[in-house]
Structure 1
Amino acid sequence: MVTEDDVRRVALSLPHTSERHSYGTPGFRVKDKLFARIREEGDVLALFVADESEKQGLISADPEKFFTTPHYDGYPMVLVRFAAVDVDELTELVTEAWRLRAPKRVLAELETR
């Protein structure tokens, strides 16, 4: 199970990432583009994914881990339960969401690390 501190540590380790409140909860942005947000529940992370198809695929493959709500209908965002992921999987999910939202120059910076 991951914690809010784990999410923060992973997200802020990525280049040009900042934390700023989004809907009253911690949101993580790359060059001012939101890529992840801790939801009001405190143990759920909202993440950008490539598209609606990927979102539905994740939910179908593991509904205990991934889910959505009507608020996110039509948006390429999936919800992730903290209790269902470990730090390695969290790192993979957050990094992918970051990649989807980061400008090309910033992506190149990550690749050179």
Structure 2
Amino acid sequence: MSATPPPLDRLRSICLALPEAQERPSHGEASWFVGGGRMFVTTADHHHDDRVALWAAAPAGVQEHLVAADPERYFRPPYVGHRGWVGAYLDVPVDWARVEDLVVDAYCLVAPARLRSAVEKPGAGG
């Protein structure tokens, strides 16, 4: 039986699987960028509270929907929540399929079109 990778390692694998994604620290946290330095996901490891989480750029309405539907897992992050970013706790049982969807959506919001088209889901409407 193989051990489950730590949440940060699993998140890193998801982010770095995307075309031209790069990891570098931002404000002391692991963060992922694309397209000339546009951040699409960052971590929050006890930076603002006692929780481990990710923050991701999100399409309009996603943050509100997830927070209302499951506030034990999702939240409005400080500093970027007013721009629609969504937070997802990584110190609870994580729905990794949902996290992967959030990461891909975040990437597609900020990546240049030439990169975005390679990862967009069929029927996503661009």
Task: Report the CA distance shift for 1:22/1:108 in structure 2 as closer, same or farther (over 3 A).
Answer: same
1:63-74 equivalent positions in 2, closer than 5 A: 63-74=71-82
Name which structure has the greater RCO, CA cutoff 8 Å, separation 6+.
1
Q: Which amino acid aligns with 1:88?
A: A
1:92 is displaced (CA, Å) by 1.5
1:40 is displaced (CA, Å) by 3.1
Q: Which amino acid aligns with 1:36?
A: V
1:20-39 equivalent positions in 2, closer than 5 A: 20-31=24-35, 32-39=37-44
SS of the aligned residue for 1:14 comes to coil
Which position in structure 2 is the counterpart of 1:5?
9
1:28-107 equivalent positions in 2, closer than 5 A: 28-31=32-35, 32-41=37-46, 43-51=52-60, 53-82=61-90, 83-107=92-116
Whether the 8 Å CA contact 2:77–2:85 is kept in 1: the answer is: no
Could you tell me which runs of 5 or more consecutive residues in structure 2 were left unpaired when the two chains were aligned. Answer: 121-126
Whether the 8 Å CA contact 1:36–1:97 is kept in 2: the answer is: yes
SS of the aligned residue for 1:98 comes to helix
State the distance in 2 between where 1:22 and 1:10 align.
Answer: 18
Could you tell me which runs of 5 or more consecutive residues in structure 1 were left unpaired when the two chains were aligned. Answer: none
| Identity score, percent | 27
State the distance in 1 between where 2:52 and 2:66 align.
Answer: 18
Q: Deviations over 1:39-73 (max 9, x none)?
A: 1327200011012x321111001111101244334
TM-score, length-normalised on structure 1?
0.85
Calculate the aligned-residue CA RMSD, in Å: 2.0
Larger radius of gyration: 2
Moved over 4 A (4+): none
TM-score, length-normalised on structure 2?
0.77
